[in-house]
Amino acid sequence: MKVSILILVFFANYSFAYSIFSPLVNLLNEERLIVTSEDSSPIKVTETDKLKFRRNGVRFIDITNHQNWFWSTKEEKVKVPIYNYPTNISYSKQVEDLVEDINKDNLKSNLAEFSSFYSRYYKSDNGLKSSTWLFERLQSIIADNNNYGLNVTVEKFIHDWAQFSIIVKIEGHKTPEDIIVVGSHQDSANLLLPNILKAPGADDDGSGVVTNLEALRIILSQGIKFDNSLEFHFFSAEEGGLLGSLDIFRSYKSQNKKVVSMLQQDMTGFIQKTLDAGEEEHVGVISDNVSPELTEFVKLIIDSYLNIPWRETLCGYACSDHSSALQNSYPSSFIIESEFKYTNPFIHSTGDTLDRLSFDHIGEFVKLVLGFTYELGFHEFREIL
pLDDT digits (tens, 9 = 90+) for 278-306: 999 999 999 999 999 999 999 999 999 99
Q: Is 4 exposed, middle or buried (0-12, 13-18, 19+ CB in 10 A)?
A: exposed
The confidence score (pLDDT) of residue 22 equals 42
In angstroms, the CA 277 to CA 343 distance is 12
Give DSSP secondary structure letters for 193-253. -TTTS-B--IIIIIIHHHHHHHHHHHHHHTT---SEEEEEEEES-STTTSHHHHHHHHHHH
From the list 102, 116, 104, the residue with the least C-alpha distance to 354 is 116
Beta bridge partners of 310: 283
The confidence score (pLDDT) of residue 77 equals 78
**For each of the chain's 385 residues, which pLDDT tens digit applies?**
454 444 444 444 544 444 444 454 555 678 999 999 988 899 999 999 999 999 999 999 999 999 999 888 876 778 999 999 999 999 999 999 999 999 999 999 999 999 999 999 999 999 999 999 999 999 999 999 998 989 999 999 999 999 999 999 999 999 999 999 999 999 999 999 999 999 999 999 999 999 999 999 999 999 999 999 999 999 999 999 999 999 999 999 999 999 999 999 999 999 999 999 999 999 999 999 999 999 999 999 999 999 999 999 999 999 999 999 999 999 999 999 999 999 999 999 999 999 999 999 999 999 999 999 999 999 999 999 6
The three-class DSSP label of residue 287 is coil
The confidence score (pLDDT) of residue 27 equals 59
In angstroms, the CA 185 to CA 117 distance is 15
Beta bridge partners of 119: 199
The confidence score (pLDDT) of residue 367 equals 98
What distances in angstroms separate CA 202 from CA 93, 133, 184, 235, 351, one per listed residue?
32, 15, 13, 16, 9
Radius of gyration of the chain (CA): 21
Other CB atoms within a 10 A radius of the CB of residue 44 amount to 10
Beta bridge partners of 195: none
Whole-prediction pTM? 0.93
Contact 186, 128 (CB under 8 A): no
What is the set of domains in the chain, with CATH numbers?
Answer: 78-377 (3.40.630.10)
Beta bridge partners of 336: 284
The confidence score (pLDDT) of residue 28 equals 63
Q: Is 5 exposed, middle or buried (0-12, 13-18, 19+ CB in 10 A)?
A: exposed
The confidence score (pLDDT) of residue 8 equals 45
The confidence score (pLDDT) of residue 73 equals 81
Check residue 315 and give left, alpha or beta (phi > 0: left; psi -120 to 50: alpha).
alpha
Check residue 248 and give left, alpha or beta (phi > 0: left; psi -120 to 50: alpha).
alpha
CA 23, 27, 31 angle in degrees (round to 5)?
145
The confidence score (pLDDT) of residue 167 equals 99
From the list 378, 85, 372, 377, the residue with the least C-alpha distance to 215 is 372
What distances in angstroms separate CA 31 from CA 40, 49, 140, one per listed residue?
18, 9, 39
